[in-house]
Each structure stands twice: as structure tokens, then as C-alpha cells.
Amino acid sequence: MTGLRIPDNALLRHKLARLRDRRTDSAGFRRLLAEIGAMLTMEAMADLPEREEAVETPVTATRARMLAAPEPCLVAVLRAGLGLLEGARGILPEAPVGHLGLVRDEHTLVASEYVVRLPRDLAARGALVLDPMLATGGSAVQAVARVKQAGATTIRFACVVAAPEGLHALCAAHPDVPVIAAALDEKLNERGYIVPGLGDAGDRCFGTE
């Protein structure tokens, strides 16, 4: 299993603490989610393949490393993935963007697709799938499967908070997909919310609580 990567970063932990706080309003929540999206994207891209090229600085000729392939596609799982996407796009401005709409039945917790718009060059670029809450793992497993079906072979998954249950489900279904998260929380409660978590990320992001 490729497993979980949590950046060891005090600023990230600080932003997550403020994101968890119930007193953070929707505008603050959106801003923090975007900032965390940028930081997780940086971490997720840390091991992209590189090549070396000759570069002329204003001072001298040198050699410098750059990405060997075009920027990976970003795939936002709706709705809350849009919050992470905002920050991720700042880091990967040339990345094509896909959207995947999955809705979870509140009783069965099973996800079904209501929108699928994915870039064409997933096979060449690979993808970073964005969804803030890795809860049961149902939507994440389905989202990654859909991105694979569309041609991506190199996939990374970024979330803000992972529950052990969701992490286990995603790693079991897609052992080739590394998970980049800001935190691994304790558990899911009986309503499928991550504990301690941060509540409903979509509702807090879009002010629909």
C-alpha cells in the first residue's frame, strides 16, 4: 500500500485548527480551505518526475530541474472539493480541471454520480483528486475508479481530514494511490461524520448549514 502522507507543517496544523473551529464563519472557512488546498497540492506534487535543463539566469548559465511532464489534472469532487480546488489552481495554474458530482444517500451512505466532466488528457498528465473529507471512503473509492476509467494511471488523492475507515477503504481499493491529508482523525460517528472532524465541509464552505 502506498498509504498516507501528512505534511509535518506547523502552519498547516494552525490553519486546520481554525478550520475545525465551529466559530469560523463561511467566508473564513472558504479562505482556509483554499489555503490548505494549496499546501496539500504542494505536498502532493513533491515527488513528480523531473528533468534537468540548461537555464540562463541574469548572472550565469546553469542547469535546473523542472517537471518532466505537463502539470497533472485537478479533479474536484463536488461540492466541497471546489473549496480545495481554489487553492490548488493557484499552485497548478496550467492544470486542466475536472468535476465529479457524487451524492451520498444519508441512510445507506452509498454515493451515486450526478455529474462527470473530466479532462481528455488524464492519461498523459495523471490526476490529483480533491475532496476535503475522507469519511467512509465510498465517494473517494468511486471517484478514483471513475478517474482511472477515464484513462488516468497516476493518481493522487488529497483531503483535509481522513477517518481510519475511509483511509482503509481507499487504500484497499486503490493501493496505487497515495493519500495526502492534513490530519488522520479518530473515527466516524453513527451519522457518518468524522470525529472530531470539522462538520459538513460543503455546508460550511457554501453557507448552507
Judge whether 134 is annotated as a binding position.
yes
Strands 4-5 and 179-184, how do they pair?
Answer: parallel
Judge whether 137 is annotated as a binding position.
yes
194 is a site residue for ligand URA (CB under 6 A) = yes
Strand partners, 55: 62
133 three-class SS? strand
Among 38, 78, 202, 206, the residue binding ligand URA under the rule CB under 6 A is 202
Among 83, 87, 138, 197, the residue binding ligand URA under the rule CB under 6 A is 197
Return the number of the residue (135 or 167) whose C-beta is nearest ligand URA: 135
175 three-class SS? coil
Among 135, 150, 158, 159, the residue binding ligand URA under the rule CB under 6 A is 135
Helices (H), the chain: 10-20, 26-44, 81-91, 122-125, 138-149, 164-173, 201-206
Shortest CB 2 distance to ligand URA, Å: 23
166 three-class SS? helix
Judge whether 138 is annotated as a binding position.
yes
The C-alpha cell that represents 69 in the structure block: 511532464
Return the number of the residue (126 or 137) whose C-beta is nearest ligand URA: 137
Judge whether 194 is annotated as a binding position.
yes
Give the footprint of ligand URA on this chain (CB under 6 A). Answer: 80, 133, 135, 192-194, 197, 200-202
